[in-house]
Amino acid sequence: MKTPIKGSCTLVGAGPGDPELLTLKAVKAIASATVLLVDDLVNDAVLEHASPNARIVHVGKRGGCKSTPQAFIDKLMITAVIEGEHVVRLKGGDPFIFGRGGEEVENLHKVGIDADVVNGITSGQAALTGLGVSLTHRDHAQGVLFMTGHAQPGAQGPDWPSVAQLCHQQRITLLIYMGTSRSAQIQAGLLQGLPAQTSVAVVQNASRHDQRHAVTTLDALHDTLHAEGLSSPCIIAVGDVLTALRALKDNSPIPMRCAA
Ligand code: SAH
């Protein structure tokens, strides 16, 4: 007979960084957790909602960096739940947007643990809101596409010329996560289906006090990123919704280069 599982696991989206963007549900889950497993893109300020008795474990996992292996994180979660802990897995943005939340829910399910998931505001959304840009302004876009710029090991990654064609034909705003280290390839691929003058914004640390951004055109994406020293975590946004912002930048007497 299977031992009943006494603990619980909730995957909680901590949002893009601004701790005031947490949902009420996230705050409640954090407050009732006995163990918190925290990703490195989570702003530590959200931990002020945690119980003083809770055990807090930082399990950073950044593409390309040395970090806690996913299998170890899964094991930690499962062991704690079996021991009767109320585990909150805190993830940056939304747990189901490139956060490996799907894999974690599957792995928990395999051992008989049903995880709850609490949405968070994804960084792509916060990045454009921070610039005052509507992702789906109906004069410029009829959809949004969330893409990863980081191919899985052994996989080819996105076919950027096809993505560009789709975005061009269907007037879609493109949000690229984890794209900074491959900006040259992304630019070259997208230029095969989108005009060189397509508007682009790169937003680093969206919604945080140290948010910075640059507004440019597709043919200057890679150079701009380097010239401005923008690095991970960044969202690369591409599409006509950004054109008004570019016009503002071009006409503005004050350089809008990197807004605080
Ligand atoms: N689940 C997260 C995404 C995790 S993937 C979400 O919904 O936002 C990690 C990538 O997210 C980073 O490489 C970066 O591209 C993006 N990202 C996360 N937080 C960010 C922030 N505050 N500003 C800009 N990009 C961010």
8 A C-beta contact, residue 258 and residue 214 = yes
CB 194, CB 238: distance < 8 Å: yes
Which of 74, 77, 91, 178 is catalytic? The answer is 178
Residue 116 bears catalytic tag: no
Q: In angstroms, what is the span from residue 177 Cα to ligand 1's centroid?
A: 6
pTM over 0.75: yes
Average pLDDT of the segment spanning 6-22: 97
Residues in the chain: 260
Atom of ligand 1 nearest to the CA of 16: 22
CA-to-CA separations, 99 to 90, 152, 178, 208, in angstroms, rounded = 10, 13, 11, 19
Query: For 217-251, what is each residue's pLDDT tens digit?
Result: 999 999 999 999 999 999 999 999 999 887 777 65
- Side chain identity, residue 213: H
- Model confidence over 60-100: pLDDT tens digits? 755 444 567 888 899 999 999 999 999 999 999 999 999 89
Who lines ligand 1 at CB under 6 A? Answer: 16-17, 41, 91-94, 97-99, 122-123, 127, 177-178, 203-208, 232-235
Which 8-state DSSP code applies to residue 33?
A: -
Amino acid occupying residue 47: L
Residue 12: the pLDDT is 98
- Mean pLDDT to the nearest integer, 195-208: 97
- ω into residue 233 within 30 of 0, thus cis? yes
CA 204/CA 213 separation, integer angstroms: 6
The ligand 1 atom at the shortest distance from the C-alpha of residue 203 is: 24
Report how far residue 94's alpha carbon sits from residue 179's, in angstroms, rounded to the nearest whole number: 18
Distance 205 CA to ligand 1 centre (A): 8
CA–CA distance, 174 with 244 (Å, rounded to integer):
16
Q: CA neighbours within 13 Å on the CB side: how many for 153? A: 2
Tell me whether residue 178 is one of the annotated catalytic residues: yes
For the CA of 95, the closest atom of ligand 1 is: 1
Q: Could you tell me how far CA 134 lies from the centroid of its own chain?
A: 17
Nearest CA to ligand 1 atom 13: 178
pLDDT tens string 137-192: 999 999 999 999 988 888 889 999 999 999 999 999 999 999 999 999 999 999 99
- CA separation (Å) from 190 to 31, 49, 167, 172? 44, 42, 10, 13
Which tokens go with 248?
């503002």
Listed residue (81, 74, 71, 92) closest to 35, CA to CA: 81
Please name which of 235, 189, 188, 240 lies closest in space to residue 214, comparing C-alpha atoms. 235
